[in-house]
Structure 1
Amino acid sequence: MSAPQEPTAESPTEPAAESQSRSAQLPAVTAILTAYHPDERLAAVVESALADCARVIIADNTPAGSPSLASKLDDPRIEVIAIGSNLGLGGALNLAVKQLPQDAQAVLLLDQDSVLPEGLIPGLAAHLRDEPTIGVAAPTPWDAKHEKFYNVGAGLHDSTVDREAVITSGMLVRRELIDRIPFREDLFNDFVDIAFCVDVRRTGARIVQDYRIKLPHSMGDRREHKVGPLTVRVIHYPAWRHYWIARNGMRFAMDNVRKHPLGFLPMAVFLGRKFVSTTLFEPDRRHHLPALTRGVRDGVMNRAAARYLPEGANPPGLRIKNRSDIKG
């Protein structure tokens, strides 16, 4: 009887062969990355995505005339769409979706500061491969600075849970869904992800979040404040972001009031907490509270204030009061 063969590169061990077979069955992924005046982290984000993506499309919202590091990336697998103005998150994503290659079976959405840990894309892609009812798979946002989860209770167990909505950065979406469902350009920035997830769920597709997969991500300036013996964690934003959070939160609730009449209640609680935390913990409350108040009013009236748009902003589909005040 001959001796058993040693495994070689041409004759892999059975576990290795099984691993290769599973990887081959994963959907082909293209990443879409939105950028606005990106810093040096952009190259690291793109490099981490290319480890498992065949292609990266960068929708660059940096206004024309301003330098952008996106233009310096030199790799045939990278396509940069130099928009020339800031269309907002929804507008940039919709432009990038039109450039998806035909062979892309799933799309990974990324922000310019989210470097992917090893194994994130295969881990999320396995959910789409193994369960046809799942339309979106997402990691769990991780605050690397404070070494804490953003989602309450995320660290209590290791599992995958169904969610009503997840944030844009890190979500992996089936191609057929992203082709059918446009991102809302009139929301400019905040609540674009929530509105998209609501539309996904209306198709009958599931949205899952894997607590075992962490994505380092920055959601504003997270600080801890002492209130007696208690520690309160508050995410601080600039005043213009507070405006859009309030404006789009109210707009989103009003747009869905017919299908979800009770939707105003959680939104009222959310915005109420935002007003309270801003009043108690925001040093520059004299600018932030008017921004929140104006945002609620403009959300009700379905319009937007030019003064709260960043430089070079030109969002389509928005009724903007005093558009001539937009900078850039």
Structure 2
Amino acid sequence: MSQTISSPGAAASAAYTVPLLGALVVLYRPTSEHLTHLLELCVQGAPLLVVDNSPAASRTLADALNAHGAEYLCNANRGGIAGAYNRGLARMFERGLGAVALLDQDSQVSTDYFRLMLESCKALGPRAFAIGPRIYDENVRHFLPQMVSNGFSIRTLVFEPDASLQPCSFLLSSGCVISRLAYERLGAFAEALFIDHVDTEYSLRALLCGVQFYVEPRLTLLHRIGHKRQHRLGPVRITSMNHPAFRRYYMARNGMHLCVQYVPSLPVALVPNFITLLQVFQVLLFESGKLAKLSSIGCGILDGLLGRLGPLETARPRLAARLGHG
């Protein structure tokens, strides 16, 4: 099954065949509720590949998915979330798909998600692109800002009613659709980062390589980032993220690494480090486990400067043992 569209601006304006949009869902220790959600995705008609990052494969899960026409692949957290994306995308693009939606086990997509995303893919034609929905953070009950950047400055997009596709510069991987040509041009996701800022790094890479990202305002993805809580400090309202200490390590380390890697070409890569600084204040003022979190942030900053990457258990085995992570 495929869709045939015209190639805009092509010299020969010949028909261009775009295979059906596929979906790649990454799991980690899924629950029965997650399995129910996966089976609901199966009936939406998009080819579905499930990459399980749990420590061991689940024959029961594989059989249930296969019975509904979905493919199951165990990655055992090799390369973290980036590794799951890379193994899954390689498999799906080998099958001839023109674009793939990246979803996590908690992603809740609307019933028109695949239809509207396929319309957008057809409108863009045979070019390198990624498309993301607007992200509604259920923790704080508002949309995350969508940003556009020239590498030096950042501007927040404002959406008019009935807005169509709009160029942007940064997309969350969850809910994002990436075209085969974009993946070929940008290459694999950075497995050395393992988790956190994997999508930030890919967005920065796209800025350097001239691969355009878009936001699809007609679609909204419900998402939860951390365990956000609102606090008042005098007249100021501050949000604390309440991520565990091991996630603070990855955020700080990978943010610093992106700064070292990209700031000479893209000064906007400084922004993740401003976020790290903000999170230090959040931990000091509002969060529990301050010592573990602050020491993890400090280790992360140092390792980012030194280029000591990979999973925490490899980069900092003593810290991993102390945090009980592994």
Map 1:63-142 onto structure 2 (within 5 A): 63-64=55-56, 69=61, 72-100=64-92, 101-132=94-125, 135-142=129-136
- The 3-state SS of whatever aligns with 1:139 is strand
Between structure 1 and structure 2, the one with the greater Rg is 1
Superposition deviation, residue 54 in structure 1? 3.2
Residues 35 and 198 of structure 1, relative CA distance in 2, 3 Å threshold? same
TM-score (norm 1): 0.79
Superposition deviation, residue 205 in structure 1? 2.6
Tell me the amino acid that sits aligned with residue 109 of structure 2: L
Match of 1:312 in 2: none
Superposition deviation, residue 40 in structure 1? 2.8
Tell me the amino acid that sits aligned with residue 296 of structure 1: I
2:51 corresponds to which of 51, 59, 63 = 59
In 1, the alpha carbon distance for the partners of 2:52 and 2:63 equals 9
In 2, the alpha carbon distance for the partners of 1:78 and 1:304 equals 33
TM-score (norm 2): 0.79
- CA-based RMSD of the aligned residues comes to 3.1
For the 8 Å contact 2:259–2:270, the answer to whether it is kept is no
% of aligned pairs identical? Answer: 24
1:216 maps onto 2:216 in alignment: no
Which has the higher mean CA deviation after the structures are superposed, 163-172 or 275-284? 275-284
Tell me the amino acid that sits aligned with residue 231 of structure 2: H
Superposition deviation, residue 233 in structure 1? 2.5
Tell me the amino acid that sits aligned with residue 121 of structure 2: L
- The 3-state SS of whatever aligns with 1:215 is strand
Match of 2:182 in 1: 177
Q: How many residues align?
A: 296
In 2, the alpha carbon distance for the partners of 1:66 and 1:104 equals 26
Match of 1:237 in 2: 243
For the 8 Å contact 1:60–1:81, the answer to whether it is kept is yes
For the 8 Å contact 1:58–1:78, the answer to whether it is kept is yes
Superposition deviation, residue 296 in structure 1? 0.6
Superposition deviation, residue 279 in structure 1? 1.6
For the 8 Å contact 2:101–2:178, the answer to whether it is kept is yes
Tell me the amino acid that sits aligned with residue 297 of structure 2: L
Match of 2:275 in 1: 270
Superposition deviation, residue 192 in structure 1? 1.1
Cα shift readout 1:113-168 (whole Å, capped 9, x = no counterpart): 01211111222222221124560110011123553212277786443432211011
Unaligned runs of 5+ in 1: 1-19, 310-318
- The 3-state SS of whatever aligns with 1:63 is coil
Superposition deviation, residue 254 in structure 1? 1.0
Match of 1:4 in 2: none
Superposition deviation, residue 204 in structure 1? 2.6
Match of 2:150 in 1: none
Residues 86 and 69 of structure 1, relative CA distance in 2, 3 Å threshold? farther
Superposition deviation, residue 170 in structure 1? 0.6
- The 3-state SS of whatever aligns with 1:107 is strand
Match of 1:16 in 2: none
Cα shift readout 1:152-199 (whole Å, capped 9, x = no counterpart): 777864434322110111101112222442111000011111222233
In 2, the alpha carbon distance for the partners of 1:129 and 1:164 equals 20
For the 8 Å contact 2:175–2:221, the answer to whether it is kept is yes
2:145 corresponds to which of 148, 151, 166 = 151
2:315 corresponds to which of 307, 313, 320 = 320
For the 8 Å contact 1:61–1:85, the answer to whether it is kept is yes
2:287 corresponds to which of 282, 287, 295 = 282
- The 3-state SS of whatever aligns with 1:104 is coil
